[in-house]
């Protein structure tokens, strides 16, 4: 239980807004025209690969990086020029940033002592939050006597205990082992829901992003690609980048030609023409007459493999089979383009087998080859 949270109205949670924010490092633009609203109490996860601008965005919000252009608001206040201590935030870094000369207890208690809370209240909160992040037996140790994972849990606990207007978290679970990461992730979600404090969380881990986020904000090369609820973004990725980044394994993306089969819209995949029925055919029908190439997206769990041919399947050869215990991943070579299928663990497939690739046209995705954006 998260008894340390106390009354919901004790904190002063606030919305956050990035308004056309830019960050340049010399000639390099790290964040380009970022506009993003985070409602009061929401957990927004900034997701993307290394170098995409997610941590830089978080550091600008924290006041640890200057802003090259635009505005950042916390509540109604423009914070561009405010020092970090004046922003009413709590931040957890990848590095631990603990006071080396203080014990774990003293590290946790420090933000509360600065606020001059009663000694009994400080003690209650410290012991409660220590239980949440599983460091109750470490309270008398100093950071040098802790493992990396233990130090990160102390840093997480120190942020939680402050009850700020906004939590900022930069990969706070990265140094935890798999079992403890799962536990702490669940507690983190519970405490954020109970306290309803605006939280911006940076990660490259898709599992963390999908399970923690109220909304995802996916970035690439400093540009915001898509914002939405995890299921919405997964079901309707706005761009080739989002489609290829979100999902494990990622979406299969095939370069295909728009053609005609028996007078109806169709697709040519690796030299084989197949009909495009239902909504897929309707989307192809909206294309300009001269647009002959598109990108087809099919998620691995939506690939259909068969040992028998039909009019809507494409021949291929099994390139590799990966056994994950509860399932297998079958990669099929379609004449130089590859698709991965997620199949039951007992599905009979061996390298070199000849199989036929198919998919559900109602759940397939189309992207423009030039703009890389989704075709609706």
- CATH of residue 93's domain is 3.40.50.300
Model pLDDT, residue 4? 39
Range of the domain at 178: 3-239
Q: Say if residue 87 is in the same domain as residue 140.
A: yes
Task: Write the CA distances from 279 to 219, 240, 265, 296, integer angstroms.
Answer: 29, 19, 11, 13
Residue 217: phi and psi, rounded to 5, are -125, 110
Q: Say if residue 228 is in the same domain as residue 288.
A: no
Hunting for tokens 């380009």 — which residue is that?
A: 32
Confidence of residue 18 (pLDDT cuts 50, 70, 90): very high
Q: Say if residue 129 is in the same domain as residue 64.
A: yes
Task: Write the CA distances from 202 to 5, 58, 90, 96, 174, integer angstroms.
Answer: 23, 8, 14, 15, 11
Q: Give me the half-sphere count of Cα atoms (radius 13 Å) on the Cβ side of residue 232.
A: 10
For residue 221, tell me if it sits in a domain: yes
Q: Say if residue 302 is in the same domain as residue 216.
A: no
Q: What is the DSSP string of 30-91?
A: EEEEEEEEE-TT-EEEEE--TTSSHHHHHHHHHTSS--SEEEEEETTEE-TTS-GGGS-EEE
For residue 375, tell me if it sits in a domain: no
For residue 20, tell me if it sits in a domain: yes
**DSSP type of residue 301:** G
The contacts of residue 304 (CB under 8 Å, 6+ apart) are 341, 357, 358, 359, 360
Q: Say if residue 8 is in the same domain as residue 37.
A: yes
Rounded CA-CA distance 277/283 in Å is: 10
For residue 244, tell me if it sits in a domain: no
- Is residue 3 scored above 50 in pLDDT? no
Higher pLDDT, 261 or 204: 204
On whether the CB atoms of residues 288 and 332 are closer than 8 A, the answer is no
For residue 304, tell me if it sits in a domain: yes
Model pLDDT, residue 212? 94
Q: Say if residue 227 is in the same domain as residue 286.
A: no
% of the chain with per-residue pLDDT over 90: 71
Final residue in a domain of this structure, among 207, 239, 271: 239
- Is residue 13 scored above 90 in pLDDT? no
Final residue in a domain of this structure, among 239, 272, 306: 239
Q: Say if residue 229 is in the same domain as residue 274.
A: no
Confidence of residue 219 (pLDDT cuts 50, 70, 90): very high
- For residue 181, give both structure tokens: 């990461």
Per residue in 98-123, pLDDT (tens digit) is 999 999 999 999 999 988 999 999 99
Radius of gyration (Cα) for the chain, nearest Å? 25
Q: Say if residue 99 is in the same domain as residue 201.
A: yes
- CATH of residue 276's domain is 2.40.50.140
Per residue in 293-317, pLDDT (tens digit) is 999 999 999 999 999 888 889 999 9
Q: Say if residue 268 is in the same domain as residue 130.
A: no
Rounded CA-CA distance 193/197 in Å is: 8
Q: Say if residue 21 is in the same domain as residue 95.
A: yes
Model pLDDT, residue 11? 54
Q: Say if residue 274 is in the same domain as residue 196.
A: no
- For residue 376, give both structure tokens: 């609706």
Number of structural domains the chain divides into: 2
For residue 153, tell me if it sits in a domain: yes
Model pLDDT, residue 262? 64
Per residue in 346-371, pLDDT (tens digit) is 999 999 999 999 999 899 999 999 99
Q: Average of pLDDT values for 153-176? A: 86
For residue 11, tell me if it sits in a domain: yes
- Is residue 341 scored above 50 in pLDDT? yes
Q: Say if residue 259 is in the same domain as residue 136.
A: no
% of the chain with per-residue pLDDT over 70: 96
For residue 376, tell me if it sits in a domain: no
Model pLDDT, residue 147? 86
Final residue in a domain of this structure, among 212, 239, 266: 239
Model pLDDT, residue 179? 81
């Amino acid at each position: 239980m998260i008894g340390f949270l106390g009354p919901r109205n004790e904190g002063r949670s606030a919305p956050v807004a990035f308004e056309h924010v830019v960050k340049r490092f010399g000639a390099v633009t790290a964040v380009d025209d970022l506009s993003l609203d985070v409602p009061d109490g929401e957990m927004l996860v900034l997701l993307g690969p290394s170098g995409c601008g997610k941590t830089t965005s978080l550091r600008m919000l924290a006041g640890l990086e200057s802003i090259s252009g635009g505005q950042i608001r916390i509540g109604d206040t423009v914070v561009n020029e405010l020092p970090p201590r004046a922003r009413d935030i709590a931040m957890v870094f990848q590095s631990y940033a603990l006071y080396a000369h203080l014990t774990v207890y003293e590290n946790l208690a420090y933000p509360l002592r600065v606020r001059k809370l009663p000694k009994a209240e400080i003690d209650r909160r410290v012991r409660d939050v220590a239980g949440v992040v599983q460091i109750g037996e470490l309270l008398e140790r100093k950071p040098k006597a802790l493992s990396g994972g233990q130090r990160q849990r102390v840093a997480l606990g120190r942020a939680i205990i402050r009850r700020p207007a906004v939590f900022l978290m930069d990969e706070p679970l990265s140094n935890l082992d798999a079992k403890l990461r799962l536990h702490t992730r669940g507690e983190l979600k519970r405490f954020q829901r109970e306290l309803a404090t605006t939280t911006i969380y940076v990660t490259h881990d898709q599992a963390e992003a999908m399970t923690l986020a109220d909304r995802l904000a996916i970035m690439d090369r400093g540009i915001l690609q898509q914002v939405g609820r995890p299921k919405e973004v997964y079901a309707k990725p706005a761009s080739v980048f989002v489609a290829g980044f979100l999902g494990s394994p990622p979406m299969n993306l095939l370069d295909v030609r728009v053609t005609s089969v028996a007078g109806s819209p169709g697709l040519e995949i690796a030299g084989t023409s197949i009909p495009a029925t239902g909504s897929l055919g309707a989307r192809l029908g909206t294309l300009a007459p001269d647009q002959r190439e598109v990108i087809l997206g099919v998620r691995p769990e939506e690939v259909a493999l068969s040992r028998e041919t039909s009019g809507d399947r494409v021949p291929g050869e099994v390139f590799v089979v990966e056994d994950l215990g509860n399932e297998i991943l079958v990669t099929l070579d379609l004449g130089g383009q590859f698709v991965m299928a997620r199949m039951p663990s007992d599905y009979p497939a061996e390298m070199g087998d000849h199989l036929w690739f198919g998919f559900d046209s109602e759940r397939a995705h189309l992207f423009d080859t030039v703009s890389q954006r989704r075709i609706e």
